[in-house]
Amino acid sequence: MSNIPNLYLKQIELGPMNNYIYIIGNSESREVMIVDPAWEPEHLKTILKNENLSIKGLLITHGHPDHCNGVSGILDSYDVPVYVSKAEASFYKPIGENIKNVLPGDILSLGNINIECIHTPGHTPGSQCFKVGENLISGDTLFLDGCGRCDLPGGNVEDLYKSLYNIILKLPFSTTLYPGHNYHHLKKDTLENQSETNGYLQCSNMHEFVHTRMKR
């Protein structure tokens, strides 16, 4: 799972919508952050305690409720920052003094574990992926053999095309993708494999992508 010796990365499926929540951090210092803490915050707290993990923050891929409806439940026990894209739509963004805006390219560090915030608008204005080494937590921007819908408020299919083709497909093909939902028999896959099997990554131009994405 790791191309960094002391990377901690745990994938947990929770809730009625097959969401993946991730705990990511440093396996030596035990410092971690939780990506998209939606659903069953008490279960997540139990994992933190059982694995002797010290939570340093929450990372939000985007503001849809199924990705952040457990934030307040975590904050009830831990007073930590909640990192959300500055660009996220106001009607999606969680509120409160713990919310910290992040910008494209911002890096959050837990010792030598560097978590890069990559702004990938389209599914929502402030959708972002989190890159650690050659691992990409892709939220609802990119699924295994799928991608996020663009027909919800704040969605923009042309922005999603640019995010997928100008940003994600420019990453090393050895990158491992960790999606925001379990919509596939695989839990993760390489960008190389997805470039060959995911029809949303095989469009020859924006027009074809818009047609492909919006017809489904």
Q: Smaller CB distance to Fe ion: residue 64 or 119?
A: 64
| Stretch of 73-81, 132-140, 158-166, 201-209 lying at the interface with Fe ion (CB under 5 A) | 132-140
Contact 133/2 with Cβ under 8 angstroms?
A: yes
Q: Smaller CB distance to Fe ion: residue 107 or 152?
A: 152
31, 140, 145, 159: residue in contact with Fe ion (rule CB under 5 A): 140
Question: How far, in Å, CA of 12 to CA of 37, rounded?
Answer: 10
Q: Smaller CB distance to Fe ion: residue 127 or 198?
A: 127
* Contact call for residue 88 and Fe ion (CB under 5 A): no
Residues 57-76 that bind Fe ion (CB under 5 A): 64
In this structure, which amino acid lies at residue 66? D
| Stretch of 8-16, 18-26, 39-47, 56-64 lying at the interface with Fe ion (CB under 5 A) | 56-64
| Count of helices and strands (H, E) across the chain | 6, 14
Q: Residues 191-194: contacts with CB within 8 Å, 24+ apart? A: 191/136, 194/142, 194/144, 194/145
* Contact call for residue 45 and Fe ion (CB under 5 A): no
The least distance separating Fe ion from the CB of residue 23, rounded to whole angstroms, comes to: 20
The least distance separating Fe ion from the CB of residue 163, rounded to whole angstroms, comes to: 14
> Shortest CA distance to 130 belongs to which of 16, 3, 36, 18?
36
> Shortest CA distance to 142 belongs to which of 125, 117, 167?
167
Footprint of Fe ion on this chain (CB under 5 A)? Answer: 64, 140
